[in-house]
A and B are shown apart, each in its own frame.
Chain A
Amino acid sequence: MPGLVNEKARIVSNDQVGPRLHVMVLEAPVLAKSIMPGQFVHMKVPGAPDHILRRPFSIYARDVQACTVDVLYQEVGTLTRFMPSLACGQEAELIGPIGNQWSAPARFADSACTHALLVGGGVGAAPLFMLAESLRALGCPTDVVLGAQTKDAIIARERYESLLGFEPFCATDDGTYGRAGFCTSLVEERLAQGCAYDGAPYDYLAVCGPEPLMRIVAGYGAQAGVYTEVSMEKRMACGIGACLSCVVDTVDGKRRSCVDGPIFDAAKVVW
């Protein structure tokens, strides 16, 4: 396993893309090259010395040529509410690449993943995008379900559409775009109908989003007999496996979401 780096990363842009949603682009040549789908970075946010902990962020996209990584973040606490005020040129620090990877590309190589369904709830759409890119490049038929509170919050829709060549299946809680209600009904439907490409049953399901969503979709996956992976995020201090803050309950005991995850076999998670 290649070692971790703590890379100084200049902020290239930091733009609002939806309600309480922002994309920060950072110049990080080492991480832009090395990070793999599912892995994340642990960011020291500049200009906030009272916040002594880093924050974990998944990588929404990377550009190896431009040496940049994109981080999609939502304002949820005092630090993420502060982050939109950061200006271009300020320097963050990113520890990475941390954690394991979605297993779909490896399973594709073993013919164990032939039809994939990716389910992203809210900002959970971000860490699935690099996986979608990777599956697309391999030629694995891949469908995407996105859920969000409202139309303006399904920010990843266009990126997925331009990647896939067709629109992802969308649901909004308030019915302003796509199916009205939670995206779980779309997942049920997809599992019943099979892959939009050829109607074949899915044999790989990846979910990232709020824990209740992941729990419900993991249940559907188990019912349908589809191998399901979830990306777990718990409050984290060190981010590198030392502090045991971010543990997830699994059938194998408590596992660190940072380095034993963040990707877990959903069948092993004790919800």
Chain B
Amino acid sequence: MRKPLDTQVNMEVDLGGLRMKNPVTTASGTFAAGREYHDFVDVASLGAVTTKGVSLNGWTGNASPRIAETPSGMLNSIGLQNPGVAHLASEELPWLRSIGATVIVNVSGHSFDEYVEVIGSLDQTGLVDAYEINISCPNVDAGGMTIGTDPASVERVIGMCRAATKLPMIVKLTPNVTDITEIARAAEAAGADALSLINTLLGMAIDVERKKPQLARYVGGLSGPAVKPVALRMVWETYKAVNIPLLGMGGISTGIDAVEFMLAGARAVAVGTANFSNPEATVDVIDGIAAYCERHGVKDVNDLVGALE
């Protein structure tokens, strides 16, 4: 089980009120609730663990095949399969607490009320350090991206979530919009403490021999190194448009990738698809950021944020 190397660099960051021991968390849905990766990395040593999207009651998710590999990327249409918030609260969060992990719970819902109910059932447990409100999943018919592409819906649901909790609230944005800064400003206006971006880009792959889509649901979310330039551009645009901190993600697999996001304006970063090929990717990224700072004489990792010249 690997931990980050010791460093003289201050790695601690504050993401909208969430104190993280380093700027690296996991992208929701790629890391379950951490336990599966604990043979490989000490999940308590990460800046935070962001858990798989959770809804009020369980969801069965989409039909198989649910993934397809594409050049330097992958498509997924898992469809937010999860056993419901009660299971998360009783089986997973206590374990994360017991090992001392910092926990961001990704909150999903079919309806505005469901988001609020999920928060309501977790808020008094003391097992959550922050929420990430998922208004950007491209793989469900109701909720998810259907909300996150409309500024009025964003303001309404985020306002309702804001009223339900005093904990730091991160809003996860979809890239499948004409202007992400418009959605970002709506979330900020409704009380978001931070924004995370990007969720996956809607995409498709076809098996020409069978003349069938690679995914049972035809379309799914593209992630991995293939999306990194798009994600980076959107972080940079959003950084200039809002005053709340950003959690950047999209194809990060090395410390250098992470530094790019921080220079573009991200206060913290999330490692997602890279976990699949490299189960130690989170710690590699932490060590890589620290090594970059040491090499450039940067004493505080916060000095990288928005430092693009």
Does chain A bind chain B?
A: yes
Q: Using a CB–CB distance below 8 Å, which chain A residues touch chain B?
A: 3-6, 44, 49-54, 79, 95, 234-249, 253-254, 259
Contact at B81–A237, with CB atoms within 8 Å? Answer: no
Number of interface residues of B (CB under 8 A): 34
Q: Which of B65-73, B102-110, B297-305 contacts A (4 or more CB under 8 A)?
A: B65-73
B275 to A245, Cβ gap below 8 A? Answer: no
Given A44-B277, A240-B279: A245 and B32 interface contact (C-beta under 8 Å): no
Query: Is there contact, CB below 8 Å, between B67 and A235?
Result: yes
Further 4 A-B residue pairs, CB within 8 A, beyond A235-B65, A235-B68: A6-B280, A53-B67, A53-B74, A244-B61
Q: Does B37 reach chain A (CB closer than 8 Å)? A: yes
On whether the beta carbons of A54 and B276 are closer than 8 Å, the reply is: yes
B37 touches A240 (CB 8 A): yes
**A residues near B66, Cβ cutoff 8 Å:** 235, 244-247
Say whether B7 faces chain A, with CB atoms less than 8 Å apart. no
Q: How far is the CA of A85 from the CA of B271 in the complex (A)?
A: 31
Q: B273 contacts the other chain (Cβ, under 8 Å)?
A: yes
Tell me if B113 counts as interface (CB < 8 A to partner A). Answer: no
A-B CB pair tally, cutoff 8 Å = 92
**Is B60 interfacial (CB 8 A cutoff)?**
yes
Complex Cα spacing A249 to B63, Å: 9
A-B residue pairs in contact (CB < 8 Å), sample of 10:
A50-B71, A52-B74, A54-B277, A235-B66, A235-B68, A242-B30, A243-B30, A245-B67, A245-B78, A248-B64
- Inside 8 A of A44's CB, which chain B residues have their CB? 277-278
Most chain B Cβ neighbours within 10 Å, of A95, A240, A248, A253 = A240
B76 on interface, CB distance cutoff 8 Å: yes
Main SS of chain B's interface residues? loop
Grouping DSSP codes into helix (H, G, I), strand (E, B) and loop, the A interface class, with mixed when no group exceeds half, is: loop
Interface centre among A6, A95, A242 (most CB of B within 10 A): A242
B115 at interface (Cβ–Cβ under 8 A)? no
CB of B224 closer than 8 Å to a CB of A: yes
B207 to A, closest residue via Cβ: A77
B91 at the interface (CB under 8 A from A): no
Q: Within 8 Å CB of A95, what residues of B?
A: 279
Residues of A close to B39: CB separation below 8 A: 3-5
Let me know if B67 and A238 touch, CB within 8 A.
no
Residue numbers in B under 8 Å from A239 (CB-CB) = 276
Q: Is the CB of B273 within 8 A of A52?
A: yes
Considering only CB atoms, which chain B residue lies closest to A78 in the complex? B69
Contacts of B150 in A (CB 8 A): none
Contact of B276 among A49, A234, A243, A248 (CB under 8 A): A243
